[in-house]
Amino acid sequence: MKHFKRASLILAMVALGACSQNGFGGMGGGPNGSGAANAQGDPSNPASPAYFQQSIGDRVFFAVDQSTVDASAQTALDAQADWLIANPEYKVMIEGHADERGTTDYNLALGARRAGSVREYLTLRGVSADRIQTVSYGKERPSELCSAESCYAMNRRGVTVLSNLSF
């Protein structure tokens, strides 16, 4: 019985330890899908994830019920593509998000289309498709919690989360 308790305790510690990272290389991917968990590196170093997040920008925004990359998003994604091409050791996870209006299924599909549009744009700009994965969180990970249009607008987004680990 004594060995069983010890083995159970060790197994529980290992299982909990495996849950401690955010699931994508330990960078970005905040708890609310914000991409802001812990950008690593020196924000003044142009090759660091912190620089990418703070100076380049890790997100683009979409109009209501849209997944089209508009001119403002293109400007942000051009800068992201340039940074990713200059830093080929990084891979990215594109998170697609939606505001709280609409059904869960609809918003998951919309988030997937948004993430796909960002992926397509980055690949057209020269980022290798094998460096990009997508995921949709729909309305499940809002960055803003309120029922005002200003909050909804911040939740309709695509977030580029960096990783220097293999998929």
pLDDT above 60: residue 26: no
**Is 95 part of any domain?**
yes
Confidence bin at 20 (pLDDT 50/70/90): very low
Report, as an integer, the average pLDDT of 8-15. 49
Confidence bin at 114 (pLDDT 50/70/90): very high
Q: Determine the pLDDT at residue 166.
A: 58
Side-chain half-sphere CA neighbours of 70 within 13 A: 11
Q: Determine the pLDDT at residue 8.
A: 52
pLDDT, mean over the chain: 85
Answer left, alpha or beta for residue 156, where phi above 0 means left and psi between -120 and 50 means alpha: beta
Q: Determine the pLDDT at residue 40.
A: 84
Scanning the structure block, which residue is given the tokens 């960096």? 162
Report, as an integer, the average pLDDT of 101-106. 97
Q: Determine the pLDDT at residue 29.
A: 46
**Is 7 part of any domain?**
no
- Which residues of 33-156 form beta strands (DSSP E)? 59-61, 91-97, 132-138
Specify the pTM: 0.77
| 3-class secondary-structure state, position 37 | coil
Q: Determine the pLDDT at residue 167.
A: 52
Q: Determine the pLDDT at residue 28.
A: 43
What domain range includes position 128? 27-163
**Is 16 part of any domain?**
no
Q: What is the pLDDT of residues 61-98, one digit of tens each?
A: 999 999 999 999 999 999 999 999 999 999 999 999 99
What CATH number is given to the structural domain containing 72? 3.30.1330.60
Q: Determine the pLDDT at residue 32.
A: 46
- Please count the structural domains in the chain: 1
* 118 Cβ contact partners less than 8 Å away, ≥ 6 residues apart: 60, 69, 73, 77, 94, 96, 134, 158, 160
Select from 102, 104, 158 the least CA-distant residue to 135: 158
**Is 60 part of any domain?**
yes
Pairing assessment for the beta strands 157-163 and 91-97 based on DSSP bridges = antiparallel
**Is 19 part of any domain?**
no
Report, as an integer, the average pLDDT of 30-57. 78
| 3-class secondary-structure state, position 134 | strand
**Is 158 part of any domain?**
yes
Report, as an integer, the average pLDDT of 146-158. 96
**Is 10 part of any domain?**
no
**Is 154 part of any domain?**
yes
* Residues of the chain above pLDDT 90, percent: 72
